[in-house]
Structure 1
Amino acid sequence: MNLFELVLKQMRQRALSTWLTLLSVVLGVALAIAILILRRESGALFGQKSYGFEVLIGKKGSATQLVMNTVYHLDVSPGNIPFSLYEQMLHSAQYRPYVRLAVPIMVGDSYQGIFPIVGTSPNLFGFDDDGKKLPPESVMEYQPDQRYQFASGRDFLPHKFEAVLGADIVKKTKLTIGSTFQATHGFPRPEQVPDIHPTVWTVVGILAPTHTAADRCVYIPFESLYTIGEHDIGMLYQMYLHKHMTPPPQDADPDTIKVYTQDPDGTFHLLL
């Protein structure tokens, strides 16, 4: 009997202890691999330690929550600030000496309940509302001297149901240029039935990798968030107040509130 046969015989005689030992080794190796993967992924997600912007302005509350939600696209939104404040920072003489540029960020919906949908303006990617390229000094930097670049396609237009994808979205979904999709309200848990909005967006651009949390986001015009009939009525309420109009009752059915018209070419116009 050679050594190998002797080992097999001993293993058969002690089958239970052998399998328990083997299971322990497998679990130990799996745990070590999981820790390494978690460390790598968390480093990729939170590895951004420098930013191309100086100030985040949000609703009064937790500063950590605001950073986690706006920069890393985690946690829940602390709430909205008045849109009029954003406009004042852009145009008011009171803020002009202190504000070089400002970009709106609206969150709350997702694609497939996993990937954050971010409402913003074309300025974030270096274009004006007509699709013309802005000078470098008027473009936000996500890191010092680093601006968003397009791997393919173009920026969305502000009054179209168009979308721009982060680099990871293309890798992890079937979306590409020309694809259409619908937004899911919030981030439902696996046991919840997702509330999918009927509005359809078309993908027109894909961003080059930034190696930040922005790579796993879907970007749409912030105006298009206001056209979602069943969206948070608080947003509609805010729009009415901004236009000095009498807002609908707080308990009104958002589906009954008409907030936009749409041209045959797909361009929408907010009524408020």
Structure 2
Amino acid sequence: MDKKYWVPALEKADGVLRLISEEPYKHRLIDLVNQLGIHKSSMYSLLHTLEALKWIDRDANDTYAIGSATGRWGDSYSQGQDIIASFHREASITRDRLQETIQLAKLEGNEVLYLAKEEAPTMVRLASGPGMKFPAHVTALGKVLLSFVDESELDLLYPSQQLISLTEYSLKTKVDLVKQLRIIRDEGIAFDRQEVIVGFSCVSAPILSQSGEAIAAVSCSMPQYIWERKKDVAKTEISQLAGRLSQF
């Protein structure tokens, strides 16, 4: 791994967290100093900061264990893994019904990150796949997730009025994006009509948490010559898939 931009303090914190997670409420400050080779004053500052952030917890005997903040990280990680497993199970049903590719993604800033895909049994293969990112405003997945973002936050995500265009059909300005997001917010469904790749269209619906937040989204993409014939049934199937995934 390239350590050009390595942060030594984080490496030290990682060592502390690893050790006390393996042996909770066993080690005091001096024990951690001796085992990790970190200077006592540096260790004191590190433990004080980690405790304040609730990354670790200290008991009456001044020994340490993992704190409540790391538990929330674990819950978030588990939720992410659970939704991917649930997606593959449920989306395979939708894929077989539509005979088209189904995708799962989440929002990262003003981009959409693809998490998983159920590929259709066709000769046509989409370029997008897990780990890839696209500008959120040109994708159905991204737009349906952006519709849950406050307009004040949109100003931070899109400080310029001009938007990046991938095709002639892509949205060109933030004004156009805001108008479309209002419609998407009301309808609960978003479309990409040749905005990423000319010749392909897409429909997407959000996956909601119990509190009503959009945690991810699913979509169905298909060649334009099939779109006019299948768009209505695709809209229904994707909405139903998102609803099933929202229950997990």
TM-score by length of structure 1 reads 0.28
| Higher share of residues assigned helix | 2
Which of the two has higher C-alpha Rg?
1
TM-score by length of structure 2 reads 0.30
